[in-house]
A and B are shown apart, each in its own frame.
Chain A
Amino acid sequence: MTHLVPEAQHRASQQPRIGDVARVAARRAARFDTDTHVRRVRGTILPLGTWGVASTRGRRVGSIVTVLIVLASLGSIAADEQDAGRSKDWRLGYDQAFDAKINVFKAQVAASYFVFTEVYDTFPYNWRLSDAGPDLENSLVTAREISEDGLVYTFYLREGVRWSDGEAFNADDVVFTYNAYRDAKQNVLAGYVSNMDSIEKVDDYTVVYTLKRPDARVLTAYTPVLPEHVWGDQALDEIQNFSPCCPIVGTGPFTITEYDPKGTTILEPNPYFWGPEGQIERILMIKYGDKEAQLRDIKLNQLDAIMIGDTKWVAGIEDDPSLQAWSIPSPGFSSIAFNLCPPENVNPDNSCTGPAEGVNWQVVQDLAIRQALAWAIDRQDLVDTVFSGQATPGNGLISPFYKRYYTSYAEDPEIGYRYDPDRARQILAEGGWACPSDGVCTKDGIPAQFELLVRSEVQQEQNAAKRIVAWAADVGIQIDLSIVTTDAMIGLNYEQSPEDKNKYQPNFDAFLWGWAGDLPSPDFNFEVTLCGGYWSDTFYCNPEEYDPLPKAALRELDFERRVELMHEAERIVLRDSPYLILVHNAQIQVTRTDTWTGYAPQPEPNGFPFSASWLQLQILEPGEAASTDYAGAAFSIVGLLAGIVIVVAASRWRRRREESGPLELAPEGASARELVGAGDRRA
C-alpha cells in the first residue's frame, strides 16, 4: 500500500520540491567548500579551538559548510517523503479520544463508534441511508420470516462472507455475538437484547431468534457482529476489557491497520469485503487537541471531514464554497423539567416518596403554570439568538432526527405551544391564578414563583434561561435562576429519600438541561416519562393513560400503528407537560466539497453525512481538488537560514570577543572599541 497512485505521482512531479532546493543549496555549499580545501586538508579533524587565531575565518566557513551539508541532506531525505500525501485518503479530524480500547461492550464515544460503523456489520440489518430504517440490500441478513405472534424471527444469512482475516463468516458468529451481548457482565449495548430469549443456529446460514415478548426494535438494533474465532476465548465477565485491536477483525469495508489514538489511526479496506467497493484507499483518523484547529486545517485542505463541529461555525462556513456544514438535529432536546413528585398519595410504583422540604410544589405541580409557561416562551427566538439558528424549535418528545417517527405539532390548537403570551395569561386566569398587571400571580396566597436550576458548564442553557425568565415575568410568573454544576443538579434531582433508601426525595422545583435518545428509534425518549421508570427525572406518573402506550408501541410490529401509538403517548406528555421542550439542538459535521463528493446524509435530508452507515463512505467519489501537501517545503529553507544565522552569529561573537579590548570607564555614548582603537584588534 505504499505506492503512489498515478494522479499523485503526476501532481508530485509538477510541484516544486523541497528536495531540489535543498540539493541546490548543498551543491553550492560543496562548491564553496572546494575554495577552502587547503585549510580543510591541513586540519580537517582538529578539535575545536586548536586552530590559531589566523584560521578563524577558515573554521567559520568550515562549520557553516558542515551545518549546511547536514541540513541539506536531512532536508532532501525528508523531502522525498514529503510529497507522499495521497489523494485517495479520506482524512477525518476528531478531538474526543478513543475509549475502552475500541471494545463494543464498553466504548461510548463518537470516535470509537465511527470505527464500529466502518469495521462491523450489525445484525440483523445495517441502517439504510434514506430514513435510517433496516437496509435490506446491504446487510448480512438477506431474508427473514417472522412468526404470527412476533416472537420468533428466522434470519437467512448472506453466504460467502469472510471476516477481514480471511476466516469464513457463518451462523456461529451471530449466535456467539448475541449470547455474549446478553450474558456479558457489562455491556453498553445490553438494551438491544433485553427481550431476547434465545438464538439458535439451524444451519450455517440460518439462525432462529426468539424473544420473550414482541419488540419492534429488533430489526434496527445496533448490535455489531463479532468474530467468534477472535472473541470466543474471552470470559464473559471480562470481555468488556478485551482489546480487539489491531487489526480489528470485522465484516465491514474497512479494518484498522495502524492504531495510534494520540496521533493518526489508519483504516484500510478489508480485502475480503463482500459489499460494494468504494474508492477510498485509506481513512485517516487524526486526533486534534481542539476544535478550532480542525476548522483551520479543513480550510487549508488538510482534512476532508470533521467528526463533531461547533454550531458557531455554521454561519462562517456558509460563505466558503469549499466547505459544507451539516446541521443535524439531535435525537433529543433541551427542556425544562419540573418536579412532579406529589406531596401525598404517591403512586407506589413511583421512584420517589415526595418532594423535599422547601420545594414549591404548589406552583410547579399546577398544570396551568406549566402550560402557561409553554405558551409564554418564544422558541423560534431561542433558536435564532441563543442557538445561532442551529436548532429546531421543539414541542415533541420525538426529534425531527427520527424521520420515520417525527410529526410536528406546531399548528395544533391545544399542544402546539407557540409564542402567545395572551393565551398564557388566559390559562393562568382559568387555572385560578390572580395576576396583577405588573407583578407576580397568586393563588390561595401562594405566589407563582419557583427556582430554575441551570448548569454552570453550559453557557447556551444559561442564556436560554435568562430569556425564559423575562418571558415568564411578562405573564406573571417569577423564575429565580440558580446556576449549579451538573453534578449538584443531579444530586438535588436524585436526593435519597429518608423513608425508603431505594427511592428519591427530589429537591428541586425545575431544572433546564438537554439529553438525547438512541439513534435507531425514539423508544428511549418515552421510557423517561414512564411511572417509576429507571431514567425518570420528573417523577411524572400517569400509569393508566400514558404508560400502556409506549409499552404497546414497543411490541407493535406494524410500523404505522407503532408510530400512531407513539404520537398518542406524545400528545399526553405534551398536555401534561412534565417537560417544557424548548429546542432540538443541532450537531454539526463538516465536510469539504471539492476533495470527495457524493455525501448522502442519513436520514435524508438533514442527517449525518458519514459515520451512520458504512455505505456512506463507499459511495463517495474523488472530487476535482487533490489533497494538499503539508507545510514543510519552506521549513527546510527556514532551517537552512536559521542554521546560517546561528553559525554566523556564533563566529562573529567569538571574533568580537577576540577583538574587544579592555574596558575603560567610558564617557556616555562612546563604546569601548572606539576608545581602544583598531590597533588593539589582534592583541
Chain B
Amino acid sequence: MRHVLIKIGIALGTLGFVLVFNFFLFRVAGDPAKDLLRNPRITPEAREALIEERGLNEGLVTQFRIYLVNTLSGELETSYSTNRPVLTEITEALPNTILLVGTATLLSAFIGSWLGVVAASRRGRASDTGITQGSLILYSMPEFWLGMILIWLLAVTLGLFPTGLKVNPGQEFSSVGYVWNVIQHAALPILTLTLGLLGQYVVIMRSALADVLNEDFVTTARAIGLPNYRVLRDHAVRNALLPVVTLVSLNLGFVVSGAITIEALFSWPGIGQLTVDAINTKDLPMLQGIFLFTSAAVIIANLFADILLTYLDPRVRVS
C-alpha cells in the first residue's frame, strides 16, 4: 500500500511540473499578439481590445497566475480561434480519437502478441523471420507514408475504402447506417495504425516468450507430455505476458493524444487534428489544454501500469 501511495505522489508531482512547464513552453513558441499585426480590416483600437481580452497585455507572471487559478478550478479557458471552451472542444474530439487510436492499440496488441507467440514458437524458421522482419519494416515506416500507400492502393486504385473523413459528407443516415458508414471510414486509418504499431508487440512478445521457452519448467511441461498449445497457453505465454501488459497500459495513455499524422492524413476529427489546427492558429489556450490533458493521460496510464505490475509481479513488491 505504501508503495502505491508513493507512486501516486510521484504522479501528482509530475502533473504539477507539467502544469507549470506547459505554460512557459508555449509562451516561448511565440507571442500570439504579434499575429494580429497586419490585418487590414482591424483598427488599432480593435487590435488593442483583442489583446486586452486575451490578457496578453499583462505581464508573464500575471498571465501565469491567471492560468494557474483557471486550470486548478477546472476551467481550461476559451480557445482563441473557435471562441468556445477548450474543454468542450477536447471532449467533442475525444470519442473520435478513442475510436481510432484505441481500437488500433488493442488490435495491434492482440494481433502483435499473437504473431509474437507464433514467431517465438517457430524460432529460426521462415515464418519467424517473415513475421519479425515484416512487422519491423512496418514499425519503422513513417505512419503517414504507410497511410498514403494504403490510401493509394486500397482506396483510390481498388476503391475498397473511402479516402478519408469520418462519414460521407452531406448524407442523411439512419442510426445503423451512420455507424456502418463510420466503420467504413475508420477501417483504413485503423488498419494503418494497427500495422504501424504491430511491430513493438511482436518483438517484445517474441523475445519474452523465447526466454521463457528456454526455462526448465517448459521443458518439464513438455516432458510430461502436454500438447504444444497447452505448453504455450498455460505455462509459457502467461509468464511472457508481463512486458506486453506494461506496454499496452503505457500505450493506452497515448490513445487520447491521438495520432497527429494519421488524423491529418485521413481528415479524422480527433485530438490530433485539434492539435494541428491549434498550432496553425497559435491558439495558446487550446494547446495548453490539449497538452495538459494528454500529459495527464500518460501519467495516469503510467501510474496504472505501475500499480498493475505490482499486483501481477510479486518481485516488484519485494524490491
**Which chain A residues have a beta carbon within 8 Å of chain B's beta carbons?**
2, 74-75, 77-78, 80-82, 84-86, 89, 91, 96-101, 103, 106, 108, 185-192, 194, 222, 241, 261-264, 266, 282, 284, 286-290, 293, 296-297, 300, 302, 485-487, 490-491, 515-518, 524, 534-535, 630-635, 638, 657, 660-663, 665, 672
Q: Are A190 and B43 touching (Cβ within 8 A)?
A: yes
Q: Which of B160, B163, B227 contacts A293 (CB 8 A)?
A: B163
Residue of A nearest to B82 (CB): A99
B159-182 contact mask (Cβ, 8 Å, vs A): 1 or 0: 111111111111111101100110
- In the bound assembly, the distance between CA atoms of A300 and B177 in angstroms comes to 23
> Which chain B residues border A665 with CB–CB below 8 Å?
222
> Which chain B residues border A187 with CB–CB below 8 Å?
46
Q: A75-B180, A100-B81, A662-B227 are in contact. List 9 more A-B contacts (CB 8 A).
A: A77-B176, A99-B281, A186-B49, A188-B42, A191-B42, A191-B43, A630-B168, A634-B160, A662-B226
Q: Which stretch, B29-37, B68-76, B135-143, touches the partner chain A? A: B29-37
What is the minimal beta-carbon distance from A453 to any residue of chain B, in angstroms?
14
- In the bound assembly, the distance between CA atoms of A91 and B231 in angstroms comes to 59
> Which chain A residues border B40 with CB–CB below 8 Å?
191, 516-518, 524
Q: Which stretch, B14-22, B193-201, B265-273, B303-311, touches the partner chain A? A: B265-273
> Which chain A residues border B156 with CB–CB below 8 Å?
296, 300
> Which chain B residues border A263 with CB–CB below 8 Å?
165-167, 169, 269
- Residue of A189, A262, A518, A632 with most chain B CB atoms under a 10 A cut-off: A262
Q: Is B319 an interface residue (CB 8 A)?
A: no
> Which chain B residues border A657 with CB–CB below 8 Å?
227, 229
B256-291 contact mask (Cβ, 8 Å, vs A): 1 or 0: 000000011111110001001100110000000000
Q: Is B216 an interface residue (CB 8 A)?
A: no
What is the minimal beta-carbon distance from B116 to any residue of chain A, in angstroms?
16
Knowing A284-B170, A487-B31, A518-B41, say if A262 contacts B231 (CB, 8 Å). no
- In the bound assembly, the distance between CA atoms of A634 and B180 in angstroms comes to 13
Q: Which of A74, A91, A535, A635 contacts B38 (CB 8 A)?
A: A535
- In the bound assembly, the distance between CA atoms of A305 and B232 in angstroms comes to 57
What is the minimal beta-carbon distance from A570 to any residue of chain B, in angstroms?
17
- In the bound assembly, the distance between CA atoms of A662 and B229 in angstroms comes to 9
Q: Which of A82, A186, A535, A660 contacts B50 (CB 8 A)?
A: A186
- Residue of A189, A194, A516, A632 with most chain B CB atoms under a 10 A cut-off: A632
Q: Is B44 an interface residue (CB 8 A)?
A: yes
- In the bound assembly, the distance between CA atoms of A565 and B123 in angstroms comes to 85
19 contacting pairs across A/B (C-beta < 8 A) = A2-B172, A78-B177, A82-B168, A84-B172, A85-B168, A85-B170, A99-B281, A108-B39, A186-B49, A188-B39, A263-B269, A287-B269, A289-B264, A290-B265, A300-B163, A631-B162, A660-B229, A661-B227, A663-B222
- In the bound assembly, the distance between CA atoms of A300 and B38 in angstroms comes to 38
Q: Are A635 and B46 touching (Cβ within 8 A)?
A: no
Q: Are B93 and A97 touching (Cβ within 8 A)?
A: no
Q: Which of B38, B83, B169 contacts A241 (CB 8 A)?
A: B83
> Which chain A residues border B211 with CB–CB below 8 Å?
none
> Which chain A residues border B161 with CB–CB below 8 Å?
631, 635, 638
Q: Are A515 and B38 touching (Cβ within 8 A)?
A: yes
> Which chain A residues border B3 with CB–CB below 8 Å?
none
- The total of interchain contacts (Cβ-Cβ below 8 angstroms) comes to 187
Q: Are A293 and B46 touching (Cβ within 8 A)?
A: no
- In the bound assembly, the distance between CA atoms of A287 and B184 in angstroms comes to 18
- In the bound assembly, the distance between CA atoms of A194 and B165 in angstroms comes to 43
Knowing A101-B82, A290-B267, A300-B163, say if A663 contacts B228 (CB, 8 Å). yes
**Which chain B residues have a beta carbon within 8 Å of chain A's beta carbons?**
30-31, 34, 37-46, 49-50, 53, 81-84, 92-93, 151, 155-156, 158-174, 176-177, 180-181, 184, 187, 222, 225-229, 231, 263-269, 273, 276-277, 280-281
What is the minimal beta-carbon distance from B111 to any residue of chain A, in angstroms?
11
Q: Are B176 and A663 touching (Cβ within 8 A)?
A: no
Q: Which of B83, B162, B180 contacts A99 (CB 8 A)?
A: B83
- In the bound assembly, the distance between CA atoms of A300 and B155 in angstroms comes to 11
Q: Are B228 and A100 touching (Cβ within 8 A)?
A: no
Q: Are B164 and A635 touching (Cβ within 8 A)?
A: no
Q: Are B170 and A264 touching (Cβ within 8 A)?
A: yes
Knowing A81-B177, A98-B82, A263-B169, say if A288 contacts B164 (CB, 8 Å). yes
9 nearest A-B pairs in the assembled complex, by CB-CB distance:
A262-B269, A524-B40, A264-B169, A289-B264, A78-B180, A289-B267, A518-B40, A663-B228, A284-B170
What is the minimal beta-carbon distance from B98 to any residue of chain A, in angstroms?
15
> Which chain A residues border B93 with CB–CB below 8 Å?
262
Residue of B nearest to A635 (CB): B184
- Residue of B37, B222, B265 with most chain A CB atoms under a 10 A cut-off: B37
Residue of B nearest to A84 (CB): B171
What is the minimal beta-carbon distance from A227 to any residue of chain B, in angstroms?
20
Knowing A101-B83, A186-B46, A672-B228, say if A286 contacts B169 (CB, 8 Å). yes
Q: Are A190 and B181 touching (Cβ within 8 A)?
A: no
Q: Are B83 and A289 touching (Cβ within 8 A)?
A: no
> Which chain B residues border A189 with CB–CB below 8 Å?
41
Q: Are B42 and A190 touching (Cβ within 8 A)?
A: yes
Knowing A2-B172, A192-B41, A293-B163, say if A632 contacts B269 (CB, 8 Å). no
- In the bound assembly, the distance between CA atoms of A263 and B187 in angstroms comes to 17
Q: Are B164 and A297 touching (Cβ within 8 A)?
A: yes
> Which chain A residues border B82 with CB–CB below 8 Å?
97-101, 261
Q: Are A91 and B170 touching (Cβ within 8 A)?
A: yes
- In the bound assembly, the distance between CA atoms of A74 and B173 in angstroms comes to 13
What is the minimal beta-carbon distance from A516 to any residue of chain B, in angstroms?
7
> Which chain B residues border A191 with CB–CB below 8 Å?
40-43, 46
> Which chain B residues border A634 with CB–CB below 8 Å?
158-160
Knowing A86-B170, A263-B165, A296-B163, say if A490 contacts B37 (CB, 8 Å). yes
What is the minimal beta-carbon distance from A338 to any residue of chain B, in angstroms?
17
Q: Which of A99, A103, A192 contacts B81 (CB 8 A)?
A: A99
> Which chain B residues border A190 with CB–CB below 8 Å?
41-43, 45-46
- Residue of A84, A290, A300 with most chain B CB atoms under a 10 A cut-off: A290
- In the bound assembly, the distance between CA atoms of A96 and B31 in angstroms comes to 20
> Which chain B residues border A85 with CB–CB below 8 Å?
168, 170-171
What is the minimal beta-carbon distance from A286 to any residue of chain B, in angstroms?
5
> Which chain B residues border A486 with CB–CB below 8 Å?
30, 34
Residue of B nearest to A105 (CB): B46
Residue of A nearest to B50 (CB): A186
Q: Which of A289, A485, A660 contacts B273 (CB 8 A)?
A: A289
> Which chain A residues border B280 with CB–CB below 8 Å?
96
> Which chain A residues border B84 with CB–CB below 8 Å?
101
> Which chain B residues border A100 with CB–CB below 8 Å?
81-83
- In the bound assembly, the distance between CA atoms of A486 and B181 in angstroms comes to 43
> Which chain A residues border B81 with CB–CB below 8 Å?
97, 99-100
What is the minimal beta-carbon distance from B114 to any residue of chain A, in angstroms?
10
Q: Are B171 and A81 touching (Cβ within 8 A)?
A: yes
What is the minimal beta-carbon distance from B55 to any residue of chain A, in angstroms?
14
Residue of A nearest to B270 (CB): A262
What is the minimal beta-carbon distance from B319 to any residue of chain A, in angstroms?
35
Residue of A nearest to B121 (CB): A663
> Which chain B residues border A106 with CB–CB below 8 Å?
83
- In the bound assembly, the distance between CA atoms of A80 and B267 in angstroms comes to 25
- In the bound assembly, the distance between CA atoms of A524 and B43 in angstroms comes to 11
Q: Are A282 and B264 touching (Cβ within 8 A)?
A: no
Q: Are A632 and B184 touching (Cβ within 8 A)?
A: yes
- In the bound assembly, the distance between CA atoms of A657 and B34 in angstroms comes to 67
Residue of A nearest to B29 (CB): A487
Q: Which of A286, A293, A635 contacts B187 (CB 8 A)?
A: A635
- In the bound assembly, the distance between CA atoms of A632 and B168 in angstroms comes to 10
Q: Are A262 and B49 touching (Cβ within 8 A)?
A: no
What is the minimal beta-carbon distance from A493 to any residue of chain B, in angstroms?
9
- Residue of B34, B53, B181, B267 with most chain A CB atoms under a 10 A cut-off: B267
> Which chain B residues border A98 with CB–CB below 8 Å?
82
> Which chain B residues border A99 with CB–CB below 8 Å?
81-83, 281
> Which chain A residues border B30 with CB–CB below 8 Å?
485-487
> Which chain A residues border B169 with CB–CB below 8 Å?
91, 263-264, 284, 286
